[in-house]
A = this chain, B = another copy of it.
Amino acid sequence: MTPVRIACVQLAPRVGDGDGNRLRAREAIETSVAAGARLVVLTELCTSGYVFETEEEARSLALRPEELSEWRTSGAYVVGGFPELADDGALFNSAALVGPEGVIAVYRKTHLWDREQLYFEPGAEPPPVVETPLGRIGICVCYDLSFPEVPRGLALGGADLIAVPTNFPLTSAVPPGEKPIELVVAMAAAHVSRVFIALCDRSGSERGVDWVGATAIVDDRGLVVAGPVGPGEGTVVADCELERARDKSWTERNDALGDRRPELYAGEPAAVD
């Protein structure tokens, strides 16, 4: 197995500074690729910042997907978030996968957090799994990960790694010695479906909102192999044998996906009075 070097760059976008954010995103990609990364994950809405005051502000920072071709490099793949302006004028909280050939996929976030609902339409398509030379990359964004159906669906769709651009607002201090619960959720999702997860959070206090700083890389057993970054900017890097995610066996008799009993999950559980 050839390990794939993954870098998650916890940036501090500045809301409203579209040009500066795009420049910093490109610099982060270039620095990571120069250090050998083949997959670079950036934060949610990394080109715009997150805490918009009005829909107009969000709209003024929106991009067409083709503009993300500026993330193209000669040999790496990049996943990062941006506010997407669709052909019909709708706005989405989207993430793009960009490879050497340009923009390969765009995912529109399907579970919108809080005030995002004021500015963005929810995506109508499930999170995608994209075949690349590195392996199969699944994509979802931030609050999507709070729905265990999402990483499970991506694993069932064949994802070896799930890239998760995110902006986790810090709502209560992480207890000393504990991991952020958002990272705990990622560890569990990775473990039960035997997939790698590359979580890229942000930093930089923005209009009164601080961030968890949960940027981390989790392996296919649910172990944190790099990170979390914590407050402040920072990059985590790990060399991951993504092919390991193709093996779902726990024992000679058990398989993480094969042992599912979907006929028992479809309906509501039996209620006993």
A253 and B129 alpha carbons, distance in the complex (Å)? 29
Q: Are A153 and B268 in contact (CB under 8 A)?
A: yes
Task: Encode A179-211 as 1/0 by CB contact (under 8 A) with B.
Answer: 001001101110110000000000000000000
* Chain B residue with Cβ nearest A140: B269
Query: Any chain B CB within 8 A of the CB of A4?
Result: no
**Known: A111-B259, A256-B146, A273-B131. Contact between A268 and B185, CB under 8 A?**
no
Give the number of times this chain occurs in the complex, counting copies: 2
Closest CB of chain B to A97's CB: distance in Å? Answer: 8
Chain B residues within 8 Å of A259, by CB: 111, 143, 147
Chain B residues within 8 Å of A158, by CB: 271
Chain B residues within 8 Å of A115, by CB: 253
Contact of A269 among B111, B128, B191, B267 (CB under 8 A): B128
Task: Encode A204-238 as 1/0 by CB contact (under 8 A) with B.
Answer: 00000000000000000111000000000000000
Which of A267, A269, A273 has the most chain B CB atoms closer than 10 A to its own CB? A269
A251 and B119 alpha carbons, distance in the complex (Å)? 16
* Chain B residue with Cβ nearest A149: B265
Q: Are B153 and A270 in contact (CB under 8 A)?
A: no
Q: Are B254 and A113 in contact (CB under 8 A)?
A: yes
Q: Are A271 and B129 in contact (CB under 8 A)?
A: yes
* Chain B residue with Cβ nearest A127: B269
Q: Are A156 and B268 in contact (CB under 8 A)?
A: yes
Query: Any chain B CB within 8 A of the CB of A83?
Result: no
Query: Any chain B CB within 8 A of the CB of A154?
Result: yes
Contact of A184 among B128, B187, B267, B272 (CB under 8 A): B187
A254 and B171 alpha carbons, distance in the complex (Å)? 14
Task: Encode A95-136 as 1/0 by CB contact (under 8 A) with B.
Answer: 000000000110000110111010000100111111100000
A114 and B262 alpha carbons, distance in the complex (Å)? 19
Closest CB of chain B to A245's CB: distance in Å? Answer: 15
Interface residues of A in 237-262 (CB under 8 A from B): 250-254, 256, 259-262
